Amino acid sequence: MRKIVCGILCVTMMFSMVACSNRVGSRDGSRESGSRNGEAEAELRTDLDGIEKLFPTLEGVTEAEWECKPLGSGDSFVPDPHDSLCQGYIILSDEAAEKYASSYEWTDVSPKVDFEVVTEREGNWKASHDFEVEVYNGNLKGNAWIDGNTILFTLID
């Protein structure tokens, strides 16, 4: 009986190792490209569809400039090869910015975000945990800060 259990465990471990090794690449099945020194480069994005997926309840988005950089290399499972660091700026309509400014308690902060391809903007950034909880997709981890009608964000997708 022990030999059977041991055999089943060995086969299960082999299948797990093969399945994990096949996870390398992006979510659409394509592999990373454009790397320098073995690290993936950030991709500049301006699409609002991607912002809508990251922030499904955020209202009044008029434009965005953001970047995503794959974190995992496929050689390690920490972080997952499919995780990406996404960060950038979102511009809100004046009405949406006013709504958010008056709906939450805000604290002055000095966030540090290291961009690769997005141009950093100065701001008097404010944070609200309740705001972040409301606007982020529930599966994501990150921060969002606001200054007037501009949101600065960083998250792991």
Residue-number span of the structural domain to which 56 is assigned = 26-156
Predicted pLDDT at 78: 52
Total domains in the fold of the chain: 1
- Dihedral of the CA atoms 88, 92, 97, 100 (nearest 10)? -60
143 backbone φψ class: left, alpha, beta (φ>0; ψ -120 to 50): beta
Average confidence (pLDDT) over 3-26: 41
Run of H or E including 8: helix 2-21
Tally of CB atoms within 10 A around 92: 22
* Domain-embedded: residue 19: no
Give residue 43's pLDDT band: very low, low, confident or very high (50, 70, 90): confident
* Domain-embedded: residue 8: no
Run of H or E including 35: strand 35-36
Bridge partner residues of 35 (DSSP): 40
* Domain-embedded: residue 7: no
Answer whether residue 92 shows pLDDT above 70: yes
Task: Output the pTM of the full model.
Answer: 0.70
* Domain-embedded: residue 6: no
* Domain-embedded: residue 147: yes
Answer whether residue 26 shows pLDDT above 70: no
Answer whether residue 58 shows pLDDT above 50: yes
Average confidence (pLDDT) over 47-66: 94
Look up residue 4 and give its two tokens: 């059977």
* Domain-embedded: residue 136: yes
Predicted pLDDT at 15: 37
* Domain-embedded: residue 51: yes
Of 77, 62, 59, the closest CA to residue 22 belongs to 77
Give the DSSP per-residue string, 52-100.
Answer: HHHSTT---EEEEEEEEEE---SS-SSS-TT-EEEEEEEEEPHHHHHHH
* Domain-embedded: residue 13: no
Q: Is 39 helix (H, G, I), strand (E, B) or coil?
A: strand
